[in-house]
Structure 1
């Protein structure tokens, strides 16, 4: 029978607990200092008219921390801790509410994603449909809406991405931020913001196809333009429309978009590429 590890002596265990308490105090001191700095920025209006919610900036913070993370602390714990810290900072700078789609028959994915990304204490406004959640953001009742990811097998009525009012509303984040490699997003965050590039981004394109633009044909056209879709769906009701996620941060003056032969094309948003869990 292999030797069992010797448990720490009571004196050693007591010393370790004292050290953990000391670290907890130091962490608390730093968090209070961080909170004071956020309060100073808010009271002094150092940001001017700039938005307090900056998903691109948040993604850069998390990526930097994940790059320097080592030892026994799990990547998921880092993201969860700092998502709560970021949520607390947003709450300090003004009312911050998230609208979530709670349509009958859904499994609560939007609520789960919103809680994980925007914190346990952030107020949520449950809405009967994705369109009501989008209306909350458009009307200023919520800062952001969290909606389930598009699915080609959705109900026959129009999907939220087919009727989303762009460019007034933009997809600004894919959720969750930490995900298995190559896994599709489970949901998206929509806000009245201009997205900011982070260096590793993706964009959503809403496409009105022509009569001969089958799904494979649309994918081939995008790939030939240097925009190979990571995924692509096409809906026929109430009108033919396609949605594609492509790599890179795209702006309205993107030259590759001007040459595409579709009757109409819109950028629904750009956002940080999720980070791998491991």
Structure 2
């Protein structure tokens, strides 16, 4: 083909892309109408569905378009059309690096969703809890300044706090943009199945036990106090809470507290081979 013919073909492709995006938006309107009839408008966040989409796109990807560009485009589409289902904000952890958090938020939630920077993780949880429809993004520091995750899940006063629903970044690759490790929290999701990775608030008197990785358990963050250690643990979803408790007991490291606080789809590690199964716990 000549250069002019190639450009004409590109115009045709662009028109098709636009038409497909409009068709997708029309389908979202049908979803909005159906959810309104069911009275379930608030529960619009489906991390597992979004993860399945990205896994399929990655498996089918080819050519010169960088996979990170594809992810960013798709995140913009998903976030914009999610906003069409309900009005929500994203509250950002102000204790994290401002530039890194801003890049992360823009990459995953785009420009259509309002963002607010809060002073620290506890403030993020408070805003998400109050709104019941907003999302929060909290950076994962290896050693946390406070055990903020105590505000997640079923709390000690009997109330229900927000839960962890996603982990960022989802696509793990060396030198990727928007690579700040973080979790997404929400008061409500539309998820009904057990997540790939379950997250627990675990507390010990004394030192944190070693050899956790024998079961594929990851310490997302921990807080050390005079009394002992609080840890936020990521555990493969195929390990039940009872099996986890038995594992700790066998290791002579029975915790004082073991509390489920959410979960997320397993990230895809693009530097290693992967399939559609959850195999990328870092």
TM-score category of the 2 structures, normalised to the smaller one: 0.7 to 0.9
Alignment-derived partner of residue 162 in structure 2: 169
Alignment-derived partner of residue 242 in structure 2: 255
1:190 aligns with 2:185: yes
Give the alignment of 1:1-278 within 5 angstroms: 12-45=2-35, 48=38, 49=40, 51-103=43-95, 106-140=97-131, 143-152=134-143, 154-155=144-145, 158-161=146-149, 163-167=150-154, 168-180=161-173, 186-193=181-188, 201-211=196-206, 214-215=207-208, 218-220=209-211, 222=212, 227-231=215-219, 233-237=221-225, 239-249=227-237, 254-259=241-246, 260=248, 261-278=254-271
**Separation of aligned partners in 1, 2:132 and 2:200:** 27
Deviations along 1:224-259, one digit per CA (max 9) or x if unpaired, are 6xx3323465422365233254442268x6321343
Gap change, CA 1:85 and 1:96, over 3 Å in 2: same
Q: CA RMSD in A?
A: 2.8
**Separation of aligned partners in 1, 2:218 and 2:133:** 30
What TM-score, normalized to structure 2? 0.78
**Separation of aligned partners in 2, 1:268 and 1:30:** 38
Q: Return the offset for 1:223.
A: 5.3
Q: Which runs of 5+ in 2 are unaligned?
A: 155-160, 249-253, 272-282
Q: Return the offset for 1:141.
A: 6.4
**Separation of aligned partners in 2, 1:190 and 1:239:** 28
**Separation of aligned partners in 1, 2:231 and 2:238:** 15
2:262 alignment partner, SS class: strand
Contact 2:132 2:187 (8 Å CA) reproduced: no
What TM-score, normalized to structure 1? 0.80
Gap change, CA 1:171 and 1:82, over 3 Å in 2: same
What number of residue pairs does the alignment pair up? Answer: 253
**Pair member with larger Rg:** 1
